[in-house]
Amino acid sequence: MNKPNQALTKTCNSCGLQKPLSAFLQLAGVQGATYGNICSACRKTQMDKTTPKEADERTRRETGGSKIRASERLAIEVDKKQQRQRQETLDQNEMEKDEKQLADRTQKIETRTRDEKKHRESYLEKRSFLDSSTKPRTEAQQQVVGGEQQAAKERQIDLTGPFRDTEITGKIKYEQSSIFHEFKKRVLGNAAPLVRATEGAKKQQTKDEKPGEKKEESLTDYVKRSFGPGSRSR
């Protein structure tokens, strides 16, 4: 009986036994044979020692994959809903913030407009007052002021001087003037035609008058009474 060829054996790294090279064969194909470091018996033993937990996990993956995908879809939907709610809350907060800023700007504009209006009205009122105080008085205003000054002057009567009646004073000035003397000489003199005719008529009337009748006023007295200084007070 021939001895086995030592060159065709190999020691297993798992069990430490020296076994034929064929026991380590892993793959045989067109490119040739491929040999590993663990014999086929050890590889088989390791496959048989697979834990039940790994088997259960493998079974669950094989049989319950659809359930896992459904739970994952549910979680994704919940996350999307929460994200959408957070986005809506942020949008609502941003909208309220923008509305508040707009209201604040509007209130500031209204306040500034109201203050400017008050300032303009106050300025125009002061300006009109200053213009009226520096503007020259009109004729009617001057007459009013002049009347007030005249009334004040009349109230300030000088009682220390002698009293002279204005009517008597005017009569004296008129009778002492040269114009009155010339008028009296030419119109009221004895040689004047009007006087002679009047005197003649008066004499004739005197002859015709009856006792107790009222005397006719002379022309001189009539002129003095009608055109003299005393006539102004009537």
- CATH of residue 34's domain is 3.30.60.130
For the chain, how many structural domains are there in total?
2
Asked whether residue 114 is assigned to any structural domain, the reply reads no
Asked whether residue 45 is assigned to any structural domain, the reply reads yes
Which H helix or E strand runs over 55? Answer: helix 52-63
| pLDDT at res. 113 | 92
| CA 21/CA 30 separation, integer angstroms | 19
Asked whether residue 194 is assigned to any structural domain, the reply reads yes
What is the per-residue DSSP string for 174-223?
Answer: HHHSHHHHHHHHHTSSTTSHHHHHHHHHHHHHHHHPPTTPPPPPPHHHHH
Tokens representing residue 37 in the block? 């470091």
CB 84 within 8 A of CB 92: no
Asked whether residue 156 is assigned to any structural domain, the reply reads no
CB 48 within 8 A of CB 35: no
What domain range includes position 43? 8-49
Asked whether residue 175 is assigned to any structural domain, the reply reads yes
Q: Give me the tens of pLDDT residue by residue for the chain, a chain 234 residues long.
A: 455 555 578 888 888 888 888 888 877 656 666 778 888 888 888 877 755 555 555 555 555 545 557 888 888 888 888 988 988 888 888 888 888 888 999 999 999 999 999 998 888 888 877 776 665 556 655 555 566 666 666 555 555 555 454 555 555 555 666 666 676 666 666 666 666 766 666 676 666 655 555 556 666 676 666 666 555 554
CA dihedral 209, 210, 216, 220 (to 10 degrees): 60
Asked whether residue 162 is assigned to any structural domain, the reply reads no
Asked whether residue 191 is assigned to any structural domain, the reply reads yes
- Predicted TM-score of the model (pTM): 0.25
**Which residue's entry shows tokens 């000035």?**
173
Give the Cα-Cα-Cα angle 39, 44, 48 (nearest 5 degrees): 150
Asked whether residue 141 is assigned to any structural domain, the reply reads no
